Structure 1
Amino acid sequence: MKKKSIQERIKEIAKKPSAIRYEDKHFKAIKRGNFYDYFGIDAEFYVLNDNDQTVVVTASGLDKIISLGKNSSKLYELLSVQYFRKFIESNLIEKLENPIIFQCKYSNGISDIFSFERGFNITIIKNICTAILAARSDGVIVFTKKTKKIK
């Protein structure tokens, strides 16, 4: 049996759809839900097919849950501010820098579409809220009239 050249191997891989090419390398979303149904926040969450059936939320969903808007860079901006960093658990930045890549299946009514998403274990919300509350109690974060309603 002749060994394939690198060029032949690349062509062979390129012919396969990405969903098939990567299907064994990433977790798959087996369920999808939306926080809107429970809390009035339009952010989707997914249950993965790993042993623990991990629940994940995307970066944009995380921003919506924490009320930072629709842009996922807002959370990174908050966490990168120097005076806020002392309230952040050491593993929080690591979790944010290493999202879980998982595969989702969407249907457009005609066919199924596979897409890869970047998400975070839902427990990251606790870590972020703990940091925000610690900064608030230390007087580092000042809340506006809009956020004072949350008290």
Structure 2
Amino acid sequence: MSEEKKPKRAAGAKALAAKMTPEERASRAKKGAAARWGLKATHKGNFLEALGVDVDCYVLNDIEKTAVISQRGMASALQLGGGGGTALPRFIEGKTASKALGAEISKKVASPLIFKGDIPGVNAPPIGDVHGYDVGLLIDICKALVLANAKGEMLKSQANIVAQANVILAASAKAGIQGLVYALAGYDRTKEEVIEAYKLYVREEAREYEKEFSPNLYEQWYRLYGIAQYERGRPWEFRYLTIDHIYRPLANSHGKVFDLAKLNKAENGEKGEKIHQFLSEIGVKALRTQVGMILGIATVSDTREQYEKYITEKVYGQKELKFD
């Protein structure tokens, strides 16, 4: 790097830091320290062969095995012209894009993950530090751009970017893109790792009984499904609504948390105990979040059809899904 470019980059970094809150600066410093002391890529791949765009992707060595796209790759994926690694931050700083994406996404772009990109055992020129983002951010950006375009808020000159955002959304949903990175990077997540990850949500012994389901949610289900209220107990239909709308999508686990909790109950529980009694404190927090989200969806829905459409799209991330 030339001596002329170094002061410019330093000045840009200072200007960016000046706009951040103390918490954001601390978070950025923490990420930089993680890169220096141990955040590394264990696997690397590229979207070129599968999707036709030259985008590097990585799996990191943190506990979450974070799936990452490089900063330069994010710009390439969105077809942002020129600028290499700085193309995405410059695009976000534009008035139109900034308004479309909002403050939360802009903050995430301003605070990339920094990690060592050299893969152990791979004979290749040293890469050094890589700036990148959790792959979910690409989906968030694409959704925001498409929504803004539908409202007529994007410029005509940005039509190719919006078109590319549509392509990305059509090619991969947020729940699936992590698997795409794992596959392209040659990373095989073992059965044991998956089980250990979901054990974060399930504890070894049953929890003491707590009332985790809001009566308001049941009232909304009665209304939307036209179910008669029993004098004692609840309708059998609620069992399936609870499984399909609460437990199966819990923590984006596609039913794994539910299956582990059932197994835990079968091994350690007694008849009459509830599934949620076999969730860890982490799992209970996820459950409460899920119940709150479903209650919100139910409250704003006028019909069963509208409610299930929201569940299909917002909870499962699919265009079509049939419920019993």
TM-score computed with the length of structure 1 as normaliser: 0.70
Query: Of 85, 88, 97, which residue of structure 2 is paired with 1:84?
Result: 97
**Aligned AA (2:48):** Y
1:91 maps to amino acid: E
Offset at residue 83 of structure 1 (A): 3.6
Structure 1 counterpart of 2:141, from 122, 128, 145: 128
| Distance (Å, rounded) in 1 between the aligned partners of 2:91 and 2:36 | 35
Spell out, residue by residue over 1:53-109, the C-alpha distance to the aligned partner (whole angstroms, 9 max, x if none).
111111111110011135233322332222433322432112111111111226556
Deviations 1:17-71 (A, max 9, x none): xxxxx87723110000000121010111010011111111111111100111352
Paired residue for 1:105?
A: 118
Change (3 A) 1:141 1:29: same
| Partner residue, 1:33 | 45
Instruction: Decide whether the 8 Å contact of 2:35 with 2:114 is kept in 1.
Output: no
CA contact (8 A) 1:60 1:70 kept: no
Name the residue aligned to 2:80.
68
Measured after TM superposition, the shift of residue 149 of structure 1 is 6.9
Give the whole-Å Cα distance in 2 for the aligned partners of 1:76 and 1:102: 18
What is aligned with 2:317?
Answer: none
Residue type at the aligned position of 1:41: V
CA contact (8 A) 1:68 1:74 kept: yes
Cα RMSD (Å): 2.9
SS in 2 for 1:86: helix
In 2, the alpha carbon distance for the partners of 1:24 and 1:74 equals 24
CA change 1:51–1:42 in 2 (3 A) is same
The residue identity in structure 2 corresponding to 1:64 is S
Provide structure 1 residue ranges, at least 5 long, that are not aligned to the other structure: 1-21
Matched, 1:118 2:131: yes
Helix, strand or coil for the counterpart of 1:85? helix
Higher percent of residues as helix: 2
Structure with the bigger RCO (C-alpha within 8 Å, sep 6+) is 1
> Partner of 1:6 in structure 2?
none
Query: Aligned partner of 2:138: which letter?
Result: I
Percent identity for Structure 1 against Structure 2: 24
Distance 1:114 1:83, change over 3 A: closer
Q: 4+ residue runs of structure 1 moved beyond 4 angstroms?
A: 106-109, 148-151
Q: Which amino acid aligns with 2:136?
A: T
- The number of residues matched between the two structures is 128
- Structure 1 residue identity aligned to 2:93: S
Q: Looking at CA atoms only, which structure, 1 or 2, has the larger radius of gyration? A: 2
